[in-house]
Chain A
Amino acid sequence: MQAWRQFVAIVRKDLVVEFRTREILLTMALFSMLLVIVFAFAFLSDPTRARDYGPGIIWVTVLFASTIGQNRLFDRERENGCLWSLLLSPTGAGTIFLAKATTQFLFTVLMELPTLLLILVFFDLAVVRPGAFVGALLLGTIALSLVGTLFSAMLMNARMKEVLLPLVTYPLLVPVVIAGVKVTSVAVGAPVAEDPELWLRFLLGFDMIFAVATWFLFGRMIRA
């Protein structure tokens, strides 16, 4: 119960600060929209084939934009050594991690809403299976948030944080992108012979394994 209150307090703190400054959300959303426009110019040679590359564009945009958010996620904890104070408080390291991962998840979902709308409009994609479409994005975003938050916290003070973060997280997230693109392709009606349920189950399993692993590793990795 106490852990839940601590969890809510950290998430609320982040959301309040974010809605007053709008630093992370605004930069993420603007970046992802620009990315979509760049993709539109790079790929829109044949509108009839939008179903083939649309899912890839969705996932690349989400991946890149979430990386932008991850780079900023622990900025406020870095200043004045706030993270160490948090860790010294009676709050468990696991609770801090889950709270920050939840914040990152909420930011990413908020960023995805206008971005996806833009992609669907620009590329004229019709969502044939909304359940699979939303499910893949939610499960995929959970995976991105878990891995991203863990390494964002770890690399908080690293000299080359901006470069190291994608270098470390992308190899781990390759399976998520593979699964996500396959489900999204089916969801927008692309002619691919894939079973979306199988890949959604894979995403769910990935989320569960990485939720436990990252939650467990966070406290052990951060106590230097």
Chain B
Amino acid sequence: MATGNLGIRIGIVLAALAAAAVLVALYLVFFVAPLEATMGIVQKIFYFHVGSAINMTVAFGVCALAGATYLVSRPMSARVASIADAVGIATAEVGVMLGAIVMVTGPLWAKVAWGTYWTWEPRLTLSLMVFLLFIAYLALRAYAGTDRFGRGVAAGLSILGLPGIYFIRVAVERWGGAHPQVVYKGGLTHPGMRQAFFASVIAMLLVTATLVLLRALIERRRQQVDALFLEIDRTTG
């Protein structure tokens, strides 16, 4: 159980770092970055909206990779497969949480910036699609059985989500749409805004990493308890 303790220690350090980073990011967002000229205070939603959105795609991407690892390693190594499985459920849950943040903050910002809560432009449509896909992943994990079969189905679903995840990233460059391209097309001219933006992204990344690590550790424990239970069942008949 030494690895478990090590994992929890890393988790505590990550949590402390994440807390500090969130405080720094909040300070930069509200006290250093200037008020945007036309949108005012509402523009500050942008920092955490984009931070959550980037980390959502990262979490879903890792989930798909974990799904691929799970399916490939299942016939060979039970240990690698169950670690990949734990990473899969952890990233999916945290990703859906980040997706919920994105889906709530986005429309609030859009009402002021675009004059409407929702519009069917490429990035919104794709994000909603991928968000629903991973909710379906969680539903599969919850209802399609916790056996190897149900986990395999969920892993396959996450892999089929990969094209969607990729297209969220390139949607605005490819097909246009109303999403502003501040990050790659040199918006955020004020250095205070840039600092606040990168601090938010890093803070959300640390929060994501902490939650994923802790959730994966819980899942590993659950797997171990399951294995022990099966062993007791076998030995005592």
Q: Which of A167, A209, A213, A222 contacts B139 (CB 8 A)?
A: A167
Residue-wise, chain B 59-74 has the 8 Å CB interface mask toward A (1 for contact) of: 0000000000001101
Q: Known A158-B145, A217-B160; judge A164-B140 contact (CB<8 A).
A: yes
Nearest CB of chain A from residue B147's CB, rounded to whole Å: 7
User: In this complex, which of A159, A160, A168, A178 has the most chain B Cβ atoms within 10 angstroms of its Cβ?
Assistant: A168
Q: Is the CB of A220 within 8 A of B160?
A: no
Within 8 Å of chain B (Cβ to Cβ): is A155? Answer: yes
Q: How many A-B residue pairs have CB under 8 A?
A: 74
Within 8 Å of chain B (Cβ to Cβ): is A150? Answer: yes
Q: Is the CB of B150 within 8 A of A158?
A: yes
CB-nearest residue of chain A relative to B134? A171
Collect the chain A residues with CB atoms within 8 Å of residue B139's CB.
164, 167-168
Residue-wise, chain B 146-168 has the 8 Å CB interface mask toward A (1 for contact) of: 01111011011101110100000
Residue-wise, chain B 107-134 has the 8 Å CB interface mask toward A (1 for contact) of: 0000000000000000001000110110
Q: Which of A174, A213, A224 contacts B152 (CB 8 A)?
A: A224
Report Cα–Cα, A33/B143, bound state, in Å. 32
Within 138-179 of A, Cβ neighbours of B (below 8 Å) are at 147, 150-151, 154-155, 157-160, 164, 167-168, 170-172, 174-175, 178
Q: Which of A157, A170, A221 contacts B156 (CB 8 A)?
A: A221
Collect the chain A residues with CB atoms within 8 Å of residue B40's CB.
none
Report Cα–Cα, A155/B143, bound state, in Å. 10
Within 8 Å of chain A (Cβ to Cβ): is B180? Answer: no
Q: Which of B75, B143, B159 contacts A164 (CB 8 A)?
A: B143
Within 8 Å of chain B (Cβ to Cβ): is A210? Answer: yes
Q: Which of B129, B133, B153, B159 contacts A155 (CB 8 A)?
A: B153
Nearest CB of chain A from residue B181's CB, rounded to whole Å: 22
Report Cα–Cα, A210/B163, bound state, in Å. 10
Within 8 Å of chain B (Cβ to Cβ): is A223? Answer: yes
Q: Is the CB of A157 within 8 A of B149?
A: yes
Q: Which of B75, B133, B153 contacts A221 (CB 8 A)?
A: B153
Q: Which of A159, A217, A222 contacts B159 (CB 8 A)?
A: A217
Q: Is the CB of A174 within 8 A of B129?
A: yes
Within 8 Å of chain A (Cβ to Cβ): is B136? Answer: yes
Collect the chain B residues with CB atoms within 8 Å of residue A155's CB.
144, 153
Q: Which of A167, A209, A214 contacts B163 (CB 8 A)?
A: A209
Nearest CB of chain B from residue A83's CB, rounded to whole Å: 12
Residue-wise, chain B 63-100 has the 8 Å CB interface mask toward A (1 for contact) of: 00000000110110000000000000000000000000
Collect the chain B residues with CB atoms within 8 Å of residue A210's CB.
160
Report Cα–Cα, A192/B172, bound state, in Å. 22
Q: Is the CB of A175 within 8 A of B145?
A: no
Collect the chain A residues with CB atoms within 8 Å of residue B125's CB.
174, 178
Known A-B contacts: A168-B136, A220-B156. Give 20 more (CB < 8 A).
A147-B160, A151-B157, A154-B144, A154-B152, A154-B156, A157-B149, A159-B143, A164-B136, A164-B144, A167-B136, A168-B157, A171-B136, A174-B129, A209-B163, A210-B160, A217-B159, A217-B160, A221-B71, A221-B156, A224-B148
15 A-B pairs, CB-CB below 8 angstroms?
A: A147-B160, A155-B144, A158-B144, A159-B143, A171-B129, A172-B161, A174-B129, A175-B129, A178-B125, A210-B160, A214-B160, A220-B71, A221-B71, A221-B153, A221-B155
